[in-house]
Amino acid sequence: MVAVGEMVPEFESAANGGTTIALSSLRGKTVVLYFYPKDNTKGCTTEAQEFRDNYDAFRELNVEILGVSRDSVKSHDNFVAKQELPFPLLSDPDENLCGIFDVIKEKNMYGRKVLGIERSTFVIDGEGTLIREWRKVRVKGHVEAVLAYVGSLNAE
């Protein structure tokens, strides 16, 4: 598991549109990596829409947004098309990325304990160092908080 202040291990992951994204290909950019439980669910759709609606503001700050869930690339393709998302969604069915960021947690689903992704967001600087994390994210106001944080980086 990577901690704030540490280098994020190199990763490569399949993404929507038949592409593959490697962390090393994003050097020089700040990366917002957000983990969400499931495509086409209420909270996850709202979060994706808010990142979409603020995408231009992130891009002006040289920030790349990447969403991650355990859903298949095909599911991501449909979700991206339906929500008109301008950023990639990474498929992590083997939970490799989830493991690096320690986002698989026990949850209660209708009285049953299940393992699932805890909604979390991570900011990686242009050198590949983890510089900020949000865990147990509540969707309301979260994207604005992330945007304010990455905006403050450029002010320093």
- Identify which of 61, 55, 33, 60 has the alpha carbon closest to the alpha carbon of residue 117: 33
Residue corresponding to tokens 């995408």: 55
d(CA 18, CA 148): 32
Beta bridge partner(s), residue 35: 68, 120
Strand order through the sheet with 130-134: 19-22, 12-15, 89-91, 63-69, 30-35, 120-124, 130-134
The active-site residue out of 15, 44, 80, 137 is 44
Residue 89 near residue 34 (C-beta atoms within 8 A): no
Please give the distance of CA 133 from its chain centroid, rounded to a whole number.
11
**How many whole angstroms separate alpha carbon 60 and alpha carbon 119?**
25
The verdict on whether 98 is a catalytic residue reads no
Long-range contacts of 111-114 (CB under 8 A, 24+ apart): none
Residues annotated as catalytic are: 44
